[in-house]
Structure 1
Amino acid sequence: MNESWRTRLFRHLFNLWPSYRGTGGRVRYIADDWQEIRIEIPKGWRTRNYMGTTFGGSIYGACDPMFAMILIQALPDEYAVWDKAATVRFKKPGTEDLYARFRIDDDELAAIETALETEDSVDREYTADVIAADGTVHATVEKTVYIGHDD
């Protein structure tokens, strides 16, 4: 799926937003239906820690808002979406550029809307791997996201 001019514009603006820019991460792609976001965490002075590998805070910070952003954009405006909890499992030091892909499919969006027909709110858990270009997993980010009626 391609980016639309709107998601491309949003991507550029998001990368300029000070709190995201400070992570050192870069949003590289937003699907036109908002159901997929891809990021890059370049290896460089902004993301390097004392040991010369990718700073864990850069990894988490670059990944932090992505599942919530997908849900905010892909679900109707009547729902409130908030990050509720997160876990990062570091598996291997990052010594090169790192990448992550965040995706929520139609079935998951439908399941959320169905659950909210009878519940005031739901918590959903999502996982994304942070990988190198060769596919080596360097970290796994798990996010719990709250979705409720915006009353």
Structure 2
Amino acid sequence: MGESLRTRLERVVFNWWPSYLGTGGRVTHIEDDWSEIHLKLPLSWRTRNIVGTIFGGSLYSAVDPFYMVMLMRRLSEEYVVWDKDAAIRFRKPATETLYATFEMPDVEVERIETALTDQESVDREYTVDLVDSEGVVYATVEKTVHVSTDEDKRA
């Protein structure tokens, strides 16, 4: 499928959004249907900590919003989507550029929609690894995203 002109423009806006700009991360690809997102987190003056590795806050904040945003884009407006919980496990000090790939396949979206025909809300857990160019894992982030059909939860 690939990136469309629209998702290319959304990627540029996302990368320059002040709260994301500060993470040091860069979105490098958004699939046309928001089923996949790629990001890059370089070791730079903006992301380097006191011991010369990528700051843990940069590792987490660079990956923080994506599962929630992907679900918001893939589900219709009748659903309310919120981040509910998160955890990060540091595997090794990051001394080089790291990458992450987020996937939200059609089958997952269908599972959520099906679950919400019988219940008011559902929590879904997702995991993403931050890896180097050879696939070595430096950190693992676990996210819990809450999806609801409850009108009262819209803000």
What's the TM-score, normalizing by structure 2?
0.96
**Partner of residue 111, structure 1:** 111
- Pair 1:144 & 2:144 matched: yes
Aligned length: 151
**Partner of residue 86, structure 1:** 86
Structure 1, unpaired ranges of 5+: none
CA distance in 2, matches of 1:98, 1:92: 12
**Partner of residue 133, structure 1:** 133
Displacement of 1:145: 0.1
List structure 1 runs of 4+ shifted beyond 3 angstroms: none
CA distance in 2, matches of 1:128, 1:44: 22
SS in 2 for 1:45: coil
Contact 2:25 2:42 in 1 (8 A): yes
Identical counterparts, % of pairs: 57
Structure 1 residues 138, 72: CA separation in 2 closer, same or farther (over 3 Å shift)? same
Deviations 1:77-122 (A, max 9, x none): 1101100000000001100000000001111100000000011110
Displacement of 1:150: 4.7
**Partner of residue 5, structure 2:** 5
Contact 2:8 2:30 in 1 (8 A): yes
CA RMSD of aligned residues (A): 0.7
Partner amino acid for 2:3? Answer: E
Deviations 1:33-60 (A, max 9, x none): 1011111101100000000000010010
**Partner of residue 17, structure 1:** 17
**Partner of residue 47, structure 1:** 47
Partner amino acid for 2:21? Answer: R
SS in 2 for 1:44: coil
Structure 2, unpaired ranges of 5+: none
Contact 2:120 2:150 in 1 (8 A): no
CA distance in 1, matches of 2:124, 2:24: 27
Partner amino acid for 1:122? Answer: V
CA distance in 2, matches of 1:121, 1:131: 32
- Pair 1:72 & 2:56 matched: no
SS in 1 for 2:117: coil
CA distance in 2, matches of 1:125, 1:56: 21
**Partner of residue 35, structure 2:** 35
Partner amino acid for 2:82? Answer: W
